[in-house]
Structure 1
Amino acid sequence: MSSDQAPLSAPRPVHHEGRAVVWGARALAYLIYTYVVVTEVVLVLGFFLLLLGANPDTPFVEWAYRSLDRAMEPFRGIFTSIELGNGANQVEAVLDTSVLFAMVIYGLLAWLIHSGIVWLTRKLERSDWQDRTI
């Protein structure tokens, strides 16, 4: 190439730092989103076990109630549980409205995190597109 000819394409600017931050934020959002979805599943499971008066002495129900207690820590005592009577195992069936409230709050949190992931993904795609068109 002679010195009077222009290069075919200009070098593309590379934004490694910004991309790394967006990728890191996106990975963190996915981890939190996964935790919130798993917590939501535990809440639904615990709600139905309480509602049906499951025997708390069985290992699975014991694990579910322990997990439910951890997820319900910020919400305990907000509402009074409604006792529905004894189930087949002479275990009290309960409609725990605090669990329903927690499911709504965790669901809203999951929706917000999902929206953040979508926003970060679009930002990353836009950055990639701009890098290709420059």
Structure 2
Amino acid sequence: MTERDAKSTTVWIIRAVMYVVYAFFIVSLLILLQGFLLLLLGADPNTGYTEWAYRNLDRVMEPFRGIFQPVEITGDAVLDTSILFAMVIYGILLLLTRAFVDWLTVRLHRAERQHDLDRAAQRAATASDAAVQYHLQVAAAQQAANEQAALREQAAQREQAQQAAPTEPVADAGETPPSPPPPPAQT
């Protein structure tokens, strides 16, 4: 595994964990909102749904329980400002988590884009090297063909020169050249 793959995998894992945390904060905010509305409207705590909602509200409110005293409005209706404070804190944590996930996503995409650009540049360099080698091979083949054509042309010129040369024997240096034929007689 290359260093880039290891970094990419690490970023993906962190990003996945942050999405789970993000989902937890969203669910927590929904539970807080539901509990706040049920308390504000004075819902009967003995029904199955409100028992479930209050049980979940107690789990989410654990760190914030007792920060502020609830204000009784009328009868069963209660304004619990601790829930409002918890909603603000969970909302801030939700926004921070989302910003971190976005930052990781941008970083991951930037790294992938850079890797793709590097690979494309490497392929272009390889293709360029292959193209240069191909052109050198073509040039060498053309040069060899030109040299062979020049050799054939020289051989053809020598052959023509030999055919155009006189067929009379050449006299040796010690012999006298043959005398020209006598002029024709006049009558």
Q: TM-score, normalised by structure 2?
A: 0.61
Q: Aligned AA for 1:114?
A: R
Match of 2:50 among 55, 61, 79: 61
Higher percent of residues as helix: 2
The structure whose Rg is larger is 2
1:37 maps to what in 2? 26
Equivalent position to 1:85, from 69, 74, 87: 74
Quote the offset at 1:85 in angstroms.
1.4
Counterparts of 2:30 and 2:110 in 1: how far apart (Å)?
34
Which of 61, 65, 69 pairs up with 1:76?
65
Unaligned segments of structure 2, at least 5 residues: 119-187
Correspondence list, 1:12-51, <5 A = 15-51=4-40
Tell me, in whole angstroms, the C-alpha distance in 1 between the residues paired with 2:59 and 2:3. Answer: 45
- Give the number of aligned pairs: 117
> Contact 1:14–1:131 at 8 Å: present in 2 too?
no
What secondary structure, in the 3-state scheme, does the structure 1 residue paired with 2:55 have? helix
Could you say which residue in structure 2 is the equivalent of 1:6? none
Partner of 1:115: 99
- The residue type paired with residue 57 of structure 1 is N
**Comparing both chains, which one has the higher relative contact order based on Cα–Cα distances under 8 Å and sequence gaps of 6 or more?**
1
**What is the aligned-residue identity percentage?**
49
